[in-house]
């Protein structure tokens, strides 16, 4: 008996398992969350990249002003160190100012901490002093001679100009420089000639001398 033809058996192919879906990690910048920002201390100055401003005053005093940039800049304590020592507080807009006496020439530092305890950057500037410059002229008036001139300095007001001369009416006399840097001295002596010097010394001990002959 002939056997019946058999059909080939088809083998089913098994499909590889599908990979599990990968987890996605979404990163969010910290600036977009409710995290307190670090305060940024910026002190005003005209032009340049130096973020600090000061001006010289009499008797080695230094006037400092600046601004704190922060989410809540009001009533922050600003500490100044270096050749000046002191503390001041910002107003509602983050502005602050203070006048301190410097112990010498050198670096001044300023820093603050915001209400969340974050420290600001520490800004710094170098306190410098330049020697003064002085001018002098002699003029003959109706009743005598008049000496006048000007002083160029970081803070000329209140400086003392001292005259020296072989003329007794002038030698050793002193005058005080005005707020505009000017000074003058008159003496009632006619028919006189000679040489006069005028010397000024600034608040840091730097001096300048000028001469005039008449």
- Domain containing 156 equals 133-213
Distance of CA 106 to the CA centre of its chain: 12
Write the pLDDT tens digit of every residue in 4-37.
455 554 544 555 555 554 434 333 444 444 445 6
Q: Mention every residue, 6+ apart, whose C-beta is less than 8 A from residue 97.
A: 63, 64, 65, 66, 88
CB of 162 closer than 8 Å to CB of 172: yes
Does residue 72 lie in a domain region?
yes
Does residue 138 lie in a domain region?
yes
> Which of 127, 157, 178 corresponds to the end of one domain?
127
Give the per-residue pLDDT at 188. Answer: 80
Say whether both 116 and 64 belong to one domain.
yes
Does residue 165 lie in a domain region?
yes
Does residue 48 lie in a domain region?
yes
Say whether both 71 and 107 belong to one domain.
yes
Does residue 9 lie in a domain region?
no
Q: How many domains does the chain have?
A: 2
pTM for this prediction: 0.73
Give the per-residue pLDDT at 141. Answer: 79
A 10 A CB-CB count for 24 gives 5
Residue 91 tokens read as 């107003």
Give the per-residue pLDDT at 148. Answer: 96
Of the candidates 154, 166, 170, 153, which has an alpha carbon nearest to the alpha carbon of residue 208? 153
CB of 153 closer than 8 Å to CB of 114: no
* Residue ranges for the chain with pLDDT beneath 70: 1-52, 190-191
């Amino acid at each position: 008996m002939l056997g019946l033809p058999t059909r080939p058996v088809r083998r089913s192919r098994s499909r590889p398992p599908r990979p599990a879906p990968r987890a996605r990690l979404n990163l969010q910048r910290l600036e977009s969350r409710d995290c307190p920002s670090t305060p940024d201390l910026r002190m005003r100055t005209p032009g340049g990249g130096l973020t600090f401003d000061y001006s010289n005053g009499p008797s080695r005093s230094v006037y400092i002003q600046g601004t704190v940039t922060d989410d809540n800049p009001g009533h922050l304590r600003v500490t100044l160190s270096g050749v000046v020592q002191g503390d001041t507080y910002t107003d509602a807009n983050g502005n602050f100012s203070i006048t301190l006496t410097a112990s010498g020439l050198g670096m001044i530092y300023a820093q603050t901490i915001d209400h969340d305890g974050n420290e600001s950057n520490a800004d710094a500037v170098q306190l410098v002093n330049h020697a003064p410059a002085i001018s002098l002229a002699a003029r003959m008036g109706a009743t005598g001679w008049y000496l006048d001139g000007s002083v160029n300095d970081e803070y000329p007001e209140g400086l003392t100009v001292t005259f020296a001369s072989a003329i007794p009416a002038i030698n050793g006399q002193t005058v005080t420089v005005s707020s505009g840097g000017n000074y003058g001295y008159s003496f009632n002596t006619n028919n006189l000639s000679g040489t006069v010097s005028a010397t000024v010394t600034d608040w840091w001990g730097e001096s300048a001398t000028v001469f005039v002959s008449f």
